[in-house]
Amino acid sequence: MTMPTVGRDVYPVSPLGDSDARIPTGRDVEWQPLVDYRRNGVSETTIHGAVAWASGDRIIHSFGGNVLCYGRSCMKPVMLKVFAKDLEPVTNSKQRAIAVASHNGTAEHVAAAQSLLDPSEWGLMQTPLDVPLVQFGRQVRRPRRWYNNSSGQHAAILKGCRLKNWSRVGYTLPRHPFFQAYMQQVRRFLGAEWQPLRVARDGDGFPTVSMTVGELAKVFAGLAATRDEDWIWASMIEHPDLVGGFNRLDSTVMKACGGKVIAKEGADGLLALSIIHDDFPDGLGVMIKIAHGWNPQATWYIARAVLGVLGFELRNPYPLYKQKAFIVPGVVPKDRVSTLDKIPTWDEWDPDRDRWYYDWQAQAEQFGMSGPGEGFGSSSWDAMKGGGNAL
């Protein structure tokens, strides 16, 4: 008889981390610089991460794409493929969009998620208690399951399990038929023998599987190639603000790209793009992973660069008052770098306050302030440096 595992058997034993030769840690991976913030030309902050481009089952460009991570909420469109045919005749387009959403938890989001289930079924929800993801003003709401950004996904999966006559007990566990069917969907894009190195519990309670950034890009290339087989692509394009929310990056990308791109954010620094483009008849998937976790500003700059070289225009909502952002060329394939050079990360309205708009050295010389003992006496110079009243 196998004894049940207890916490001490699986908990880390060292603050330095346990070692597994198959799984490199963040210290072992050579993260790539993606965005460089400069103050008057001098680098002050560099955002590291990984980017991969895939078309069909091929990686066509990799800039750190071998990094292993979890797909997190990026994978919701793939997870819901398990129930696509079952849900289609019994749901409307808003319900389908909220099923693949990581929403903000607004009243519109909650209403769409709740509409998927009969009130008598709400008690089956295993969504973690949460507050709205994005709010304006003071937080005064108590945590509720429906506010969780994955409540639509939970409701849709519960509905799908009922339609398939699967038990709804344990629907969030990796032993449940839903997870096994989800793995089959992943293997459609990564090969029949593909296996994750790790399966972990995501923040929404569902299993999340480890993949490289390159593998995630392949999956999203597959979503573009199979976009007409079900409602997932169409529902995300039709209701982008249900998928994320007002001013969210994935929602804005979908609204800006005229139905040619679906985008999905994932926790801890993920943005997945599934793209229809004439240059990539087998579908194009681009995966962006920020090394230090979610950074919507830096991710926005990278997404703007990637989409820009493909002919899509994404506005810039993030002025940098004290610095300017510069994209590292490696985020796009080499044959598109010349196009990247023409896509600024700032706009004309973006303030530029990291320098003076005059030649400070010439003015210093004009006033005889090029240094102590030149034009001023040393006492006057010292007083000015210290904020004195020599003048």
User: Two tokens at 55?
Assistant: 């078309």
d(CA 294, CA 298): 9
Asked if 289 contacts 344 with a C-beta cutoff of 8 angstroms, the reply is: no
Contacts of residue 357, defined as CB under 8 A and 6 or more positions apart, other chains included, come to: none
One-letter amino acid of 343: I
Burial class (CB in 10 A: 0-12, 13-18, 19+), 268: middle
Look at residue 313 in the predicted model and tell me its pLDDT. Answer: 93
- 356-391 residue pLDDT tens: 888 888 888 888 765 554 544 444 445 444 544 444
Fold observed for domain 44-340: Beta-lactamase (3.40.710)
* Angle (nearest 5°) at CA 110 between 167 and 95: 60
Q: What token pair was written down for 164?
A: 């398939």
CB 253 within 8 A of CB 263: yes
23 phi-psi bin (left φ>0, alpha ψ -120 to 50, beta other): beta
User: For residue 179, is pLDDT > 70?
Assistant: yes
Domains of the chain by residue range: 44-340, 358-391
Nearest Cα to Cα of residue 221 among 196, 194, 189, 198? 189
pLDDT in tens, 28-81: 888 999 999 998 889 999 999 999 999 999 999 999 999 999 999 999 999 999
The answer on pLDDT for 299 being more than 80 is yes
Among residues 137, 135, 127, which one has the least CA distance to residue 107? 135
Short-list 138, 243, 226, 134, CA closest to 185: 226
pLDDT of the residue at 3: 59
> Any residues with CB less than 8 A from the CB of 359 and at least 6 apart, and which?
none
